[in-house]
Amino acid sequence: MATSWSEYGSYLVLVVLLVIAPGPDTMVMLKNSLASGGRGGLASIGGIAAGNIINGSAAALGLGALVTQSQVLFTTLRWLGVVYLCYLGVQALRGAWRGDYSGKVGASARTSGLRCFREGFLSNVTNPKVLVMYLSVLPQFIDPVHTSVGEALLLANTVGVLGAVWLLLVLFFVQRVRVWLNRRPVRRAMDALTGTALVGFGAALAAPS
């Protein structure tokens, strides 16, 4: 490997710090795990991981720079991300406002799973800040002359793998305390929290850099 194992270890430390920071991915997974149970949480993680693979691979192959350098493409993607995050946030806030949790979790499981996967995927792939993160971190550990395409892809997709592992740990914790979380006051508070956070992330994405 052009990147030494010690450098890769430093890279892992940086990636861990990045993935454990609460962001839209975490909020989407929490929202869907509360609404659709563990299956919904897993589907969301799958969609988020797919989005990370696309973003990471694009950055590693040099395609991500084309997006960030094109004002039209970047702005279009940014506003798609803003609208989608705010849409998901408003959904969660509406659920908190209504406070109707009488329906069974897991009803229409297949449809719910596809929806959760789609929400995880779209919330990640339409957020250009994810792509910018890859483009900011990867060049610090990639030698344009000696690093192979395979090594660049390994570094990029390490982010997606560790991100999925972290979200699985969060989901495991959520499922362990599910009985408490399903209490109506707690559930309404969690929906309000995730909804507000998602709208906040959308607003932050809308703000000029």
The DSSP-derived string for 53-111 is HHHHHHHHTTHHHHHHH-HHHHHHHHHHHHHHHHHHHHHHHHHHHH----SPTTTTHHH
In this structure, are residues 138 and 58 in contact, taking their beta carbons and an 8 Å threshold? no
Q: Name the residue range of residue 179's domain.
A: 5-206
| Domain total of the chain | 1
Q: Whose structure tokens read 């279009």?
A: 76
Q: In sequence order, which residues have a C-beta less than 8 Å from that of residue 85 and are 6 or more positions away? A: 24, 123, 127, 198, 199, 201, 202, 205
Quote the pTM value: 0.86
State the pLDDT at residue 135. 86
The mean pLDDT value for 24-49 works out to 93
pLDDT attached to residue 106? 45
What do you get for the CA distance between the two ends of the chain, in Å? 35
> What rounded mean pLDDT belongs to the chain?
86
